[in-house]
Protein backbone atom coordinates (compact mmCIF):
# COMPACT_ATOMS: atom_id res chain seq x y z
CA UNK A 1 0.00 0.00 0.00
CA UNK A 2 1.29 3.48 -0.89
CA UNK A 3 2.06 5.66 2.11
CA UNK A 4 -0.08 8.66 1.30
CA UNK A 5 1.19 10.61 4.27
CA UNK A 6 4.43 11.04 2.36
CA UNK A 7 2.55 13.33 -0.04
CA UNK A 8 2.93 16.16 2.47
CA UNK A 9 6.56 17.13 2.84
CA UNK A 10 8.79 20.17 3.16
CA UNK A 11 8.25 20.63 -0.58
CA UNK A 12 4.72 21.77 0.27
CA UNK A 13 4.30 25.37 1.28
CA UNK A 14 0.99 26.51 2.74
CA UNK A 15 -0.16 30.13 2.95
CA UNK A 16 -2.84 30.45 5.60
CA UNK A 17 -4.77 33.69 5.15
CA UNK A 18 -6.20 34.68 8.52
CA UNK A 19 -3.96 33.22 11.21
CA UNK A 20 -6.69 33.48 13.85
CA UNK A 21 -7.98 30.63 15.99
CA UNK A 22 -8.51 27.99 13.26
CA UNK A 23 -5.85 29.27 10.85
CA UNK A 24 -3.13 29.23 13.49
CA UNK A 25 -4.14 25.74 14.68
CA UNK A 26 -4.09 24.46 11.11
CA UNK A 27 -0.66 25.99 10.43
CA UNK A 28 0.80 24.36 13.56
CA UNK A 29 -0.74 21.00 12.58
CA UNK A 30 0.50 21.04 9.00
CA UNK A 31 4.02 22.02 10.12
CA UNK A 32 4.05 18.80 12.16
CA UNK A 33 3.69 16.97 8.81
CA UNK A 34 6.93 18.58 7.68
CA UNK A 35 5.36 21.32 5.55
CA UNK A 36 6.14 25.03 5.53
CA UNK A 37 3.19 27.14 6.67
CA UNK A 38 3.01 30.93 6.87
CA UNK A 39 0.04 32.69 8.45
CA UNK A 40 -1.28 36.18 7.77
CA UNK A 41 -2.10 38.83 10.31
CA UNK A 42 -3.35 42.40 9.95
CA UNK A 43 -0.61 43.68 12.22
CA UNK A 44 3.16 43.33 12.17
CA UNK A 45 4.55 40.91 14.78
CA UNK A 46 7.82 39.16 15.60
CA UNK A 47 6.79 35.73 14.32
CA UNK A 48 9.04 34.85 11.34
CA UNK A 49 6.29 32.51 10.08
CA UNK A 50 3.76 35.36 9.87
CA UNK A 51 3.21 37.96 7.15
CA UNK A 52 0.99 41.02 6.92
CA UNK A 53 -2.20 41.02 4.89
CA UNK A 54 -5.03 43.50 5.37
CA UNK A 55 -7.55 43.70 2.56
CA UNK A 56 -9.21 46.82 4.01
CA UNK A 57 -5.97 48.80 4.14
CA UNK A 58 -4.71 47.17 0.94
CA UNK A 59 -1.60 45.93 2.75
CA UNK A 60 -0.56 43.03 0.54
CA UNK A 61 2.09 40.33 1.08
CA UNK A 62 5.48 40.80 -0.58
CA UNK A 63 6.15 38.73 -3.72
CA UNK A 64 8.64 36.57 -1.82
CA UNK A 65 5.82 35.23 0.38
CA UNK A 66 4.29 33.52 -2.66
CA UNK A 67 7.51 31.82 -3.79
CA UNK A 68 7.08 28.03 -3.84
CA UNK A 69 3.47 28.09 -2.58
CA UNK A 70 1.59 24.86 -3.30
CA UNK A 71 -1.46 25.15 -1.01
CA UNK A 72 -3.62 27.97 0.37
CA UNK A 73 -6.15 27.97 3.20
CA UNK A 74 -8.36 31.03 3.64
CA UNK A 75 -9.86 31.60 7.09
CA UNK A 76 -10.94 35.23 6.61
CA UNK A 77 -14.62 36.19 6.86
CA UNK A 78 -16.38 38.15 4.08
CA UNK A 79 -15.95 41.91 3.97
CA UNK A 80 -18.91 44.19 4.65
CA UNK A 81 -19.95 44.08 0.98
CA UNK A 82 -19.91 40.28 0.80
CA UNK A 83 -16.66 40.15 -1.14
CA UNK A 84 -14.00 37.62 -0.26
CA UNK A 85 -10.95 39.54 1.05
CA UNK A 86 -8.39 37.14 -0.45
CA UNK A 87 -9.97 37.01 -3.90
CA UNK A 88 -10.64 40.75 -3.94
CA UNK A 89 -7.03 41.63 -3.19
CA UNK A 90 -4.99 38.71 -4.49
CA UNK A 91 -6.86 36.75 -7.17
CA UNK A 92 -4.70 38.10 -9.99
CA UNK A 93 -1.62 37.03 -8.10
CA UNK A 94 -2.92 33.58 -7.11
CA UNK A 95 -4.20 32.52 -10.55
CA UNK A 96 -0.66 32.74 -11.88
CA UNK A 97 0.77 30.40 -9.25
CA UNK A 98 1.08 26.60 -9.62
CA UNK A 99 -1.34 25.98 -6.73
CA UNK A 100 -2.41 22.36 -6.11
CA UNK A 101 -5.23 23.02 -3.66
CA UNK A 102 -7.08 25.89 -1.97
CA UNK A 103 -9.30 25.49 1.08
CA UNK A 104 -11.89 28.01 2.23
CA UNK A 105 -13.44 28.03 5.72
CA UNK A 106 -17.11 28.90 5.37
CA UNK A 107 -20.02 28.50 7.78
CA UNK A 108 -23.07 26.27 8.09
CA UNK A 109 -24.99 29.56 8.46
CA UNK A 110 -25.46 29.40 4.67
CA UNK A 111 -28.05 26.63 5.22
CA UNK A 112 -30.31 29.01 7.18
CA UNK A 113 -32.95 27.75 9.59
CA UNK A 114 -33.88 24.05 9.33
CA UNK A 115 -36.06 24.16 12.48
CA UNK A 116 -33.92 21.55 14.20
CA UNK A 117 -33.78 19.16 11.24
CA UNK A 118 -30.59 17.64 9.86
CA UNK A 119 -28.96 19.46 6.97
CA UNK A 120 -26.34 18.14 4.56
CA UNK A 121 -24.31 19.33 1.60
CA UNK A 122 -27.09 18.05 -0.68
CA UNK A 123 -29.49 20.66 0.71
CA UNK A 124 -29.58 23.96 -1.09
CA UNK A 125 -28.25 26.93 0.86
CA UNK A 126 -31.02 29.14 2.18
CA UNK A 127 -29.28 31.92 4.10
CA UNK A 128 -31.49 33.82 6.48
CA UNK A 129 -29.08 36.29 8.04
CA UNK A 130 -27.39 39.01 6.00
CA UNK A 131 -23.96 37.78 7.13
CA UNK A 132 -24.82 34.32 5.75
CA UNK A 133 -25.81 35.84 2.43
CA UNK A 134 -22.44 37.57 2.32
CA UNK A 135 -20.80 34.22 3.12
CA UNK A 136 -22.68 32.43 0.36
CA UNK A 137 -21.54 35.14 -2.01
CA UNK A 138 -17.91 34.43 -1.06
CA UNK A 139 -18.44 30.70 -1.62
CA UNK A 140 -19.76 31.52 -5.11
CA UNK A 141 -16.76 33.77 -5.80
CA UNK A 142 -14.41 30.91 -4.92
CA UNK A 143 -16.39 28.33 -6.93
CA UNK A 144 -16.38 30.63 -9.97
CA UNK A 145 -12.69 31.50 -9.60
CA UNK A 146 -11.36 28.57 -11.67
CA UNK A 147 -8.98 27.86 -8.79
CA UNK A 148 -8.71 24.34 -7.26
CA UNK A 149 -11.07 25.20 -4.40
CA UNK A 150 -12.56 23.04 -1.65
CA UNK A 151 -15.04 24.69 0.74
CA UNK A 152 -15.52 23.61 4.36
CA UNK A 153 -18.76 24.59 6.08
CA UNK A 154 -18.28 24.89 9.83
CA UNK A 155 -20.64 25.23 12.79
CA UNK A 156 -19.55 26.83 16.11
CA UNK A 157 -15.79 26.41 16.52
CA UNK A 158 -14.28 25.75 19.94
CA UNK A 159 -11.05 24.40 21.32
CA UNK A 160 -8.33 24.98 23.92
CA UNK A 161 -8.33 28.68 24.83
CA UNK A 162 -11.75 29.37 23.28
CA UNK A 163 -14.52 27.27 24.76
CA UNK A 164 -17.42 27.27 27.21
CA UNK A 165 -14.84 26.71 29.96
CA UNK A 166 -13.18 30.10 29.34
CA UNK A 167 -16.62 31.75 29.13
CA UNK A 168 -17.55 30.27 32.52
CA UNK A 169 -14.21 31.19 34.12
CA UNK A 170 -14.35 34.74 32.75
CA UNK A 171 -17.99 35.06 33.87
CA UNK A 172 -18.97 35.90 30.30
CA UNK A 173 -21.57 33.18 30.07
CA UNK A 174 -25.32 33.53 30.31
CA UNK A 175 -27.09 30.30 31.23
CA UNK A 176 -29.88 30.58 28.68
CA UNK A 177 -32.31 27.87 27.68
CA UNK A 178 -34.61 27.79 24.65
CA UNK A 179 -36.91 24.83 24.22
CA UNK A 180 -35.90 22.45 21.38
CA UNK A 181 -32.96 24.67 20.37
CA UNK A 182 -30.01 22.74 18.99
CA UNK A 183 -26.51 23.88 18.02
CA UNK A 184 -23.84 22.03 16.09
CA UNK A 185 -20.16 22.37 16.96
CA UNK A 186 -16.68 21.40 15.92
CA UNK A 187 -13.40 21.19 17.84
CA UNK A 188 -10.63 23.17 16.13
CA UNK A 189 -8.37 20.09 16.08
CA UNK A 190 -10.93 18.25 13.94
CA UNK A 191 -11.05 21.11 11.44
CA UNK A 192 -7.28 20.91 10.96
CA UNK A 193 -7.13 17.13 11.08
CA UNK A 194 -10.04 16.60 8.66
CA UNK A 195 -8.55 19.01 6.14
CA UNK A 196 -5.15 17.34 6.38
CA UNK A 197 -6.82 13.92 5.98
CA UNK A 198 -8.57 15.10 2.80
CA UNK A 199 -5.37 16.56 1.33
CA UNK A 200 -3.35 13.47 2.16
CA UNK A 201 -5.93 11.12 0.67
CA UNK A 202 -6.89 13.35 -2.27
CA UNK A 203 -5.84 10.84 -4.90
CA UNK A 204 -7.92 7.98 -3.54
CA UNK A 205 -11.10 9.78 -2.42
CA UNK A 206 -13.90 11.19 -4.56
CA UNK A 207 -13.54 14.94 -4.78
CA UNK A 208 -16.30 17.00 -3.15
CA UNK A 209 -16.13 20.79 -3.57
CA UNK A 210 -18.21 21.43 -0.42
CA UNK A 211 -17.88 19.49 2.83
CA UNK A 212 -19.38 20.01 6.30
CA UNK A 213 -17.01 19.52 9.22
CA UNK A 214 -19.16 19.03 12.32
CA UNK A 215 -19.14 16.64 15.25
CA UNK A 216 -21.53 13.71 15.69
CA UNK A 217 -23.80 15.08 18.37
CA UNK A 218 -25.52 18.44 17.94
CA UNK A 219 -27.21 19.35 21.23
CA UNK A 220 -28.62 22.19 23.31
CA UNK A 221 -26.36 24.91 24.65
CA UNK A 222 -27.54 24.25 28.19
CA UNK A 223 -26.21 20.69 28.03
CA UNK A 224 -22.74 21.97 27.14
CA UNK A 225 -22.81 24.69 29.80
CA UNK A 226 -23.94 22.21 32.46
CA UNK A 227 -21.05 19.91 31.57
CA UNK A 228 -18.63 22.86 31.60
CA UNK A 229 -19.63 23.80 35.16
CA UNK A 230 -19.28 20.16 36.20
CA UNK A 231 -15.77 19.91 34.72
CA UNK A 232 -14.72 23.09 36.52
CA UNK A 233 -16.32 21.95 39.79
CA UNK A 234 -18.45 25.09 39.94
CA UNK A 235 -22.13 25.52 40.70
CA UNK A 236 -24.22 26.48 37.69
CA UNK A 237 -26.30 29.64 38.24
CA UNK A 238 -30.04 29.73 37.67
CA UNK A 239 -31.19 29.08 34.12
CA UNK A 240 -32.73 32.06 32.31
CA UNK A 241 -35.36 31.31 29.68
CA UNK A 242 -34.54 32.76 26.26
CA UNK A 243 -37.71 34.88 26.09
CA UNK A 244 -36.67 36.60 29.29
CA UNK A 245 -32.94 36.76 28.44
CA UNK A 246 -33.23 38.12 24.93
CA UNK A 247 -33.94 41.73 25.93
CA UNK A 248 -30.41 41.91 27.37
CA UNK A 249 -28.70 40.23 24.40
CA UNK A 250 -26.97 42.16 21.64
CA UNK A 251 -28.50 41.83 18.15
CA UNK A 252 -25.62 39.55 17.10
CA UNK A 253 -26.07 37.32 20.17
CA UNK A 254 -29.84 37.16 19.54
CA UNK A 255 -29.27 36.23 15.90
CA UNK A 256 -27.52 32.99 16.90
CA UNK A 257 -30.70 31.81 18.64
CA UNK A 258 -32.93 32.42 15.61
CA UNK A 259 -31.59 29.50 13.59
CA UNK A 260 -31.86 25.89 14.68
CA UNK A 261 -30.16 23.11 12.74
CA UNK A 262 -28.40 19.78 13.07
CA UNK A 263 -25.43 19.68 10.70
CA UNK A 264 -24.74 16.29 9.15
CA UNK A 265 -21.15 15.04 8.87
CA UNK A 266 -22.08 11.89 6.95
CA UNK A 267 -20.23 12.93 3.80
CA UNK A 268 -16.98 13.52 5.70
CA UNK A 269 -17.20 10.75 8.28
CA UNK A 270 -19.08 7.97 6.48
CA UNK A 271 -18.48 8.46 2.76
CA UNK A 272 -14.98 9.89 2.97
CA UNK A 273 -13.95 7.90 6.05
CA UNK A 274 -12.67 10.66 8.34
CA UNK A 275 -12.54 9.61 12.01
CA UNK A 276 -13.33 12.47 14.39
CA UNK A 277 -10.89 13.08 17.25
CA UNK A 278 -13.67 14.59 19.38
CA UNK A 279 -17.02 13.14 18.38
CA UNK A 280 -19.04 15.20 20.86
CA UNK A 281 -18.77 18.21 23.16
CA UNK A 282 -17.91 16.08 26.19
CA UNK A 283 -14.78 14.65 24.61
CA UNK A 284 -13.93 18.08 23.21
CA UNK A 285 -14.35 19.92 26.52
CA UNK A 286 -12.35 17.26 28.37
CA UNK A 287 -9.51 18.18 26.03
CA UNK A 288 -10.04 21.92 26.59
CA UNK A 289 -9.87 21.42 30.37
CA UNK A 290 -6.19 20.50 30.11
CA UNK A 291 -5.28 24.02 28.94
CA UNK A 292 -7.59 25.96 31.27
CA UNK A 293 -5.76 28.24 33.70
N1 LIG B 1 -15.86 31.21 15.21
C2 LIG B 1 -16.80 30.37 14.83
O3 LIG B 1 -17.49 29.74 15.64
C4 LIG B 1 -17.01 30.14 13.34
C5 LIG B 1 -17.99 29.25 12.94
C6 LIG B 1 -18.13 28.97 11.59
C7 LIG B 1 -17.33 29.60 10.65
N8 LIG B 1 -16.41 30.52 11.07
C9 LIG B 1 -15.56 31.16 10.04
O10 LIG B 1 -14.41 30.35 9.89
C11 LIG B 1 -13.26 31.19 9.64
C12 LIG B 1 -12.24 30.96 10.75
O13 LIG B 1 -12.86 31.24 12.00
P14 LIG B 1 -12.01 31.63 13.29
O15 LIG B 1 -12.99 31.80 14.41
O16 LIG B 1 -10.87 30.70 13.42
O17 LIG B 1 -11.46 33.06 12.83
P18 LIG B 1 -10.76 34.22 13.70
O19 LIG B 1 -10.06 33.65 14.87
O20 LIG B 1 -11.79 35.29 13.95
O21 LIG B 1 -9.69 34.75 12.65
C22 LIG B 1 -10.05 35.49 11.53
C23 LIG B 1 -8.78 35.89 10.79
O24 LIG B 1 -9.15 36.71 9.68
C25 LIG B 1 -8.25 37.82 9.65
N26 LIG B 1 -8.95 38.94 8.97
C27 LIG B 1 -10.18 39.44 9.25
N28 LIG B 1 -10.49 40.42 8.38
C29 LIG B 1 -9.42 40.55 7.55
C30 LIG B 1 -9.13 41.40 6.45
N31 LIG B 1 -10.01 42.32 6.02
N32 LIG B 1 -7.93 41.28 5.83
C33 LIG B 1 -7.04 40.35 6.25
N34 LIG B 1 -7.26 39.52 7.28
C35 LIG B 1 -8.44 39.62 7.92
C36 LIG B 1 -7.93 38.11 11.10
O37 LIG B 1 -6.73 38.84 11.15
P38 LIG B 1 -6.03 39.26 12.55
O39 LIG B 1 -5.30 38.00 12.98
O40 LIG B 1 -5.14 40.37 12.24
O41 LIG B 1 -7.16 39.60 13.49
C42 LIG B 1 -7.80 36.69 11.65
O43 LIG B 1 -6.50 36.20 11.45
C44 LIG B 1 -13.78 32.62 9.57
O45 LIG B 1 -14.10 32.94 8.26
C46 LIG B 1 -15.05 32.55 10.42
O47 LIG B 1 -15.99 33.55 10.07
C48 LIG B 1 -16.23 30.79 12.40
Q: What is the pLDDT of residues 254-267, one digit of tens each?
A: 999 999 999 999 99
User: Containing domain of residue 202, as a range?
Assistant: 4-290
Q: Kindly state the DSSP code that residue 59 receives in the 8-state scheme.
A: B
> In testing the pocket of ligand 1, which one of 18, 58, 213 has its CB within 8 Å of the most ligand atoms?
18
Q: For the beta carbon of residue 254, count every other beta carbon within 10 angstroms.
A: 14
Please state, in angstroms and rounded to a whole number, the distance separating the CA atoms of residues 128 and 125: 9
Q: For the beta carbon of residue 291, count every other beta carbon within 10 angstroms.
A: 12
Which atom of ligand 1 has the smallest separation from the CA of 18?
43
Nearest CA to ligand 1 atom 46: 77
Reported as a pLDDT band with limits 50, 70 and 90, residue 292 is confident
Whether the CB of 22 sits within 6 Å of ligand 1: yes
What are the pLDDT digits (tens) for 126-181?
A: 999 999 999 999 999 999 999 999 999 999 999 999 999 999 999 889 999 999 99
Domain count, the chain: 1
The CATH number of the domain holding residue 164 is 3.40.50.720
Please state, in angstroms and rounded to a whole number, the distance separating the CA atoms of residues 283 and 277: 8
Question: Is 234 within 8 Å of 177 (Cβ atoms)?
Answer: no
pLDDT at 185 over 90: yes
Reported as a pLDDT band with limits 50, 70 and 90, residue 29 is very high
Question: Is 82 within 8 Å of 137 (Cβ atoms)?
Answer: yes
Reported as a pLDDT band with limits 50, 70 and 90, residue 204 is very high
* Interval between CA 105 and ligand 1 midpoint (Å): 9
Nearest CA to ligand 1 atom 47: 77
Whether the CB of 18 sits within 6 Å of ligand 1: yes
Question: Is 113 within 8 Å of 260 (Cβ atoms)?
Answer: yes
What are the pLDDT digits (tens) for 207-225?
A: 999 999 999 999 999 999 9
Give 128-184 as a 3 state SS string.
CCHHHHHHHHHHHHHHCCCCCEEEEEECEEEECCECHHHHHHCCCCCCEECCCCCEC
Whether the CB of 154 sits within 6 Å of ligand 1: yes
Q: Which residues contact 6 (CB under 8 A, 6 or more apart)?
A: none
Amino acid sequence: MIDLTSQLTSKNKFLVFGGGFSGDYFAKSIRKKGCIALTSSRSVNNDPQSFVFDSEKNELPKDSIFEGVTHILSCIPPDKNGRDPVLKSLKNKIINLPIKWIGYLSTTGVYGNTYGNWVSEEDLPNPFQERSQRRLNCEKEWINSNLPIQIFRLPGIYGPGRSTLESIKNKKIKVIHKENQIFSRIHVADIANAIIYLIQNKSKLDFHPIINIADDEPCSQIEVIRYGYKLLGLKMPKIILFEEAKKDLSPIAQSFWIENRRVSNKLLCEKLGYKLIYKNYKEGLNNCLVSIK
